[in-house]
Each structure stands twice: as structure tokens, then as C-alpha cells.
Amino acid sequence: MEELLADIVGVLVTVVEACGAAIVITGAVWAFARFLWVGLRRRTTEAFVPVRLTLGRFLLLGLEFQLASDVLRTAVAPSFEELGLLAAVAAIRTALNYFLSREIADERRQVAEQEETGSAVDVTADEHRRRSA
Amino acid sequence: MTAALEEIAGLLAVCIGTAALIAGALALAVTHRPSLALSVFLDLLLAAGLLRLVGDPGWQAIVTVASIVVLRRLIGVGLRVGGRAWSSSGGGSGTRVGPLRSSAVARLVRPAWRS
């Protein structure tokens, strides 16, 4: 019975980890293509920020899957060495999850502030143009 | 099955590491902003590190990814603090160090009864 459980958990862990890895790979490839596009075509600093934000979201989603696989692994963890490794990996992934979500929130706030300042500058420029006309 | 997944993920991690170098160099060449280029480089490097953790990683892989995470945070904080000091001084490279140094020297040289 225990062996059957270990087999099932092993397959599930592999599937969930593969999903997480696929999400991370997709995000990285997409972000790399966008970085190339933005770098060669638009050539502005601001254009890089949304791409970084989206890559961060992909990484977060991939991390969630990987954390899920860690949780699944705790169902079957025979040796103390394996438990230590699992704890270290889970701690790294949880810390990454926390820092990444904070970074994304910071960047999003900065983008919103920049958009607000940009729109304020546009409004004053329009008013100035109207008055001078 | 896990070994195959680990092998594929390791191979892709190397590819993404190379892509990180290319993207970082491109960002630096285009924007001339090292902080942005470094962020781009470290973002993609983090993706590569996450892929290295797939499967049953050894202690070496774990330490590598952990050091990347710590390095990322350190560099990020350092650049943010540096950028804030740079912008608050309100000038170019010449105006940043001069007034700070001169005010510090003046404070040191000035006698206590004059303050």
C-alpha cells in the first residue's frame, strides 16, 4: 500500500514539476524574445519594464507549481537527508515567491506613478497650447 | 522520468543563462543604464536557477540558487540606494561628490564654538 502511494506521489510530483518548469521556460523564452524586440525596435528604458513584470508573473506562477510539488513530496520523504534538501528547496522557493511578489508590486506602483505624471504633463501641455491659441 | 526531466531542465537552464547574457548586454547597449541591464540579466538568470531546482537537486544547486537570490536582493538594494543618493544630489558626476565632501570638511575644520 505504501509503495503504491509512493509511486502515485512520485508520478504526481513529476507532472506538477514539469508543469512548473514548462511555465518558467515559456516565460523566459517569451521574455527573451520581447527583450530582443524592445531592444532592437523601441530602444527606450520604459519599454523594458512591462516585459520584466510579465516575466516576474510567469516566474511566480511556475514557483507556485514547484511549491505544490514540494508539498506533495512531503507525503513521502523517507530519509532525514531528503527531508533537509526538501526543506532547503521549499525555503528558497517560498523566499523567492515573497520577494518576487514584492518586486512586482513595487514595479507596478512605479509604472502607475509614471503614467500619472505623464498624463499630468500631457494635460498641462494641452492647456498651455489652448491658452496660447 | 524524473532524471529525464532534470536533464532537459538543466539543458534549458544553460540556454536561458546564455539568453540572459545576451538580453543583459543588449539592454546595456541600448539604454546605457547598468541597473536596468543588470535587472534584465538577473531576472532571466533567476529563471535558469529555478529550472536547476527541478527534480532532486543536490546541495550545490541549492546553494547556487540561494546565492543568486541573495545577490539579486543585495544588488537591487545597492542600486536603489545609489540611485536615490544620485537623484537627491540633483546633478551630474561632478556635482555629487564635491559639495558632500566640502561640507564634511567644513564641519570638521570649523571650531566647536562657531556651530
Which of A67-71, A74-78, A124-128 holds the top average pLDDT?
A: A67-71
Q: What is the mean pLDDT of residues A64-81?
A: 80
Residue of B59, B40, B111 whose CA lies nearest to A107: B40
User: Which of B36, B47, B76 is opposite residue A45, by nearest beta carbon?
Assistant: B36
Mean pLDDT over A12-28 rounds to: 92
Mutate to test the interface with A, among B30, B51, B68, B84 (most CBs of A within 10 A): B30
Q: Has residue A129 got a pLDDT over 70?
A: no
State the virtual CA torsion across A15, A21, A22, A23 in degrees, nearest 10.
Answer: 120
Lowest mean pLDDT among A14-28, A82-96, B69-83: B69-83
Predicted local distance difference test score (pLDDT) of residue B83: 62
Closest residue, chain B, to A27 (C-alpha) = B47
Chain A (13-52) residues lying within 8 Å, Cβ to Cβ, of chain B: 13-14, 17-18, 20-21, 24-25, 27-29, 31-32, 35-36, 39-40, 43-45, 48, 52
**Both ends of chain A: CA-CA distance in Å?**
85
Q: Report the residue from A11, A39, A88 with minimal CB separation from B62.
A: A88
Chains A, B: CB pairs < 8 Å: 105
Percent of chain A with pLDDT over 70: 86
What's the CA gap between A54 and A31, in Å, rounded?
8
- Amino acid at position A98, single letter: Y
Residue B42 has pLDDT above 90, yes or no: no
Could you give the CA distance from residue B33 to residue A17 in angstroms, rounded to a whole number?
A: 36
**Whether the predicted pLDDT of A15 surpasses 70:** yes
Which amino acid would we find at residue A73?
R
ipTM for the complex shown: 0.74
What does the mean pLDDT of chain A come to? 81
Highest average pLDDT, of A26-40, A111-125, B58-72, B90-104, comes from A26-40
On chain B, the residues whose CB falls within 8 A of the CB of A59 are 43, 46-47, 50
What is the C-alpha to C-alpha distance for residues A68 and A50, in angstroms, rounded to an integer? 27
Q: Is A72 on the interface with B (CB under 8 A)?
A: no
Q: What residues does each domain of chain A span?
A: 2-132
Q: Which stretches of B1-115 are assigned E, i.e. beta strand?
A: none
State the Cα–Cα distance between residues A89 and A67, nearest whole angstrom: 9
Q: Which of B38, B18, B14, B48 is nearest to A62 (CA)?
A: B48
Contacts of A21 in chain B (CB under 8 A): 5, 9, 12, 51, 54
In 3D space, the residue among A8, A108, A117, A25 whose CA is nearest the CA of residue A66 turns out to be: A25
Other C-beta atoms within 10 Å of B71: how many? Answer: 12
Calpha distance B50→A92 (Å, rounded): 10
Residue of A105 and A51 predicted with greater confidence: A51
Task: Look at B60 and A125; give whichever has higher pLDDT.
Answer: B60
Residues from chain B that touch A66, judged by Cβ atoms under 8 A, are 50, 53-54
Domain boundary assignment for chain B: 2-114
Segment A79-91 shows an average pLDDT of 79
Q: What is the pLDDT of residue B15?
A: 93
Residue in the block written with cell 511549491: A67
The rounded mean pLDDT for chain B is 74
